Structure 1
C-alpha cells in the first residue's frame, strides 16, 4: 500500500482546521454532557480526490474522527488477502470501518454478486452501502443471508431510476430479510420531496446508515453547502435518530469542493458537534 506524505504547508493547514473542528462552544459547560448516542463519521467519497490511504487517515485524525465508510478507491477490490491486509492497516491507524460503498449490483448473476460479498467479507464490512438493480434485488438479498452482512440501500434522488427516495426502497424490500435496509441520504431525500425526519421514522429499525449533507435549496443538487449553512433540519434529524434509538453512524458525505474539501468538512463536523452539545451530548 502506497502512503504519501504531506508537505509542511499542508500539515500546518490541517492542524489549523483540526483546531477549528474541536473548538465547539461549550454551551452546556455548567452541566455534565452525556455520551452521545449518535456516532459521527465520514463517507470516504468526501475525499475522492485524495486516493492515497495515508492522506485519508491524516484527514480523519485532523478531524478527530475514527468512523469511516470506505469507498472502493480507498480500499480497492482485488485479491482477498490484499483487501484484508489493507483494511487491517486502516484499523491499525485507529480507524473503525463501519461499512463500505456505495457498491453497485447491476447484474442479476451469482458470480458478480458473490465477488462483491467476498470483498466485503475480506474487508470486514458489517454493512454494505449498496445500490442493487430491481432485477438483482432478491438475488442480492439471498447473499445477505448467506454472508450475514447487512445491505443498506442508498437512495440517490430524482435522477436515480432505481431508488429516488427511501420510500421507493421501502416499497420493494418489505418482504425481504430484515438485514436488507436503508442508507438514507438526507440531501437526496429532501430533493425527492420527502420530509427527512418523518422518513427516518418511517424506515425505523431497518435504518443502517445515514449520509449527511446540507442544501441551500431543497430541490437543487448543485446547491449543496457545508452542514449548517443550508436548510437541512440537522437538530430535528438528530432528535429523531435518538428517539428511534438508531445504532449506526451519521456519515458526512461532502460532495462539493473535491480538491479542497477540508474547510467545508471541518465546518460541517463542527456544526454537528455543536448541535449534539446543545442536545446535552458530548461529541
Structure 2
C-alpha cells in the first residue's frame, strides 16, 4: 500500500463522511464543561496496534488524516523498534510529523530478570515515554518491576485482557495486586476486555482513580463475545458515561482507540470511531 492517502479514499462511506464533518477535527483534546465549571479534558489518542498491518510511514499518514497526534506505540511492524538505532529513526519520524508518544505497549515482562526488565525501561526512557502498558507481568515479578518504576520514574499500567487472561481478567484484579505498592504502579483499562470479564467499566474507573494511567477504547455488540467488536458507537459500550467518569476522577491521561478488527482495512471503522467520540465530547460541553 502506498504511503500517501487521498481524502476521497479516506472517506469511504457517506456515513463516515457525514460524521466527520459534523464535528471539528482541529484537535484531539476536548474540554467539556458543566454547571459546576470546567472539567478535565478528555484527550483522544491512538494505540498503534490498530495499524499493526501497516508501516510506520503509513500509520503517520493515517494519523494526519484523522487529526490525531498522540500515540501509544507498540513494537509492531516498525512502529517503535526495540533496538536503539531503529527506535531513534522512529522517534525522528514522529517528531517530524508532530506526533507525541505518551505510552508504549503492550510490553510483556515474561522474565523475572533485572536485565530484561531494565532493557524495557531503557527503551521507554530513550523515547521520553512516561507510561509502560504492561501485557502480562506475573504477580511475583511485580516487586522487581516496582524497583525500576521507582528508579526511572516511569509509570506501569497493567493491561487487563478479559476472561482469557490467566491473571488479569479485570482492572479490579490489577488494583488488588498493586494497591499496596508505589503510586506509579497502576492499570490500563481496556474497556472491551473489562465488560467481557463482567466488570462494570464505569465503576472500575472510579475504583482505579489515581492509579489509572491509560485507557484502551473499543466497542462490542455483545459483552460476552470477543469477536463482536465494532466501530465505537455501533455497539453497547457506555461511551458518554465512561468519559463522564474519567472527568469525575480528573483523569489526566489519554483515551486510546484500539480498533482490533478489519486489520487489513481499519480506516472506515477507525474514522467512524473518532467521529462518534468527538461527537459525544462535543455534546458534553
Q: TM-score, normalised by structure 2?
A: 0.89
> Could you say which residue in structure 2 is the equivalent of 1:174?
179
Q: In the alignment, does 2:136 pair up with 1:136?
A: no
Deviations 1:135-190 (A, max 9, x none): 21111111111111111110000100021100111111011111011100000000
Once the two structures are TM-superposed, the CA of residue 83 in structure 1 deviates from its matched residue by: 1.8
Given that 2:3 and 2:57 are in contact with CA atoms closer than 8 Å, whether structure 1 keeps it comes out as no
Quick one: distance in 2 between partners of 1:149 and 1:21? 37
Is 1:94 the counterpart of 2:90 in the alignment?
no
Residue 6, structure 1, aligned to residue 3, structure 2: yes
**Contact 2:4 2:61 survives alignment (8 Å):** no
Aligned residue in 2 for 1:119: 123
1:67 aligned to which of 55, 66, 70? 70
Say if 2:45 and 2:254, in contact at 8 Å, map to a contact too.
yes
From the superposition, tell whether residues 124 and 108 of structure 1 become closer, same or farther in structure 2 (CA, over 3 Å): same
- Does the CA contact (< 8 Å) of 1:43 and 1:70 recur in 2? yes
Matched, 1:162 2:162: no
Q: Residues of 2 paired with 1:209 and 1:24: CA distance?
A: 27
Match of 2:56 among 50, 53, 57: 53
| 1:43 and 2:47 correspond | yes
Deviation of residue 19 (structure 1)?
Answer: 5.4
Number of residue pairs aligned between Structure 1 and Structure 2: 269
State the alpha-carbon separation in 1 of the partners of residues 234 and 59 from structure 2.
Answer: 25
Question: In 2, are the aligned partners of 1:15 and 1:62 still within 8 Å (CA)?
Answer: no
2:108 counterpart SS class: strand
Is the 8 Å Cα contact of residues 128 and 150 (structure 1) preserved in structure 2?
yes
What displacement does 1:86 show? Answer: 2.0
Q: Structure 1 runs of 4+ off > 2 angstroms?
A: 4-8, 14-22, 32-36
Given that 1:166 and 1:199 are in contact with CA atoms closer than 8 Å, whether structure 2 keeps it comes out as yes
Q: How does 1:201-240 map onto structure 2 within 5 Å?
A: 201-240=206-245
Structure 2 residue ranges without an equivalent (≥5): 25-30
CA distance in structure 1 between the aligned counterparts of 2:237 and 2:11, rounded to whole angstroms = 28
Structure 2 counterpart of 1:194: 199
Tell me the CA shift for residue 11 of structure 1: 5.9
Q: What is the CA–CA distance in structure 2 between the aligned matches of 1:39 and 1:21, rounded to whole Å?
A: 19
Query: Cα offset for 1:15?
Result: 6.0
Give the 3 Å change call, closer, same or farther, for CA 16–133 of structure 1 in structure 2: same
- How far is the alpha carbon of 1:84 from its aligned partner? 3.1
Instruction: Tell me the TM-score normalized by structure 1.
Output: 0.89
How large is the Cα RMSD of the aligned pairs?
2.1
Q: Aligned with 1:97: secondary structure?
A: strand
For structure 1, the residue ranges without an aligned partner over 5 or more in a row are 27-31
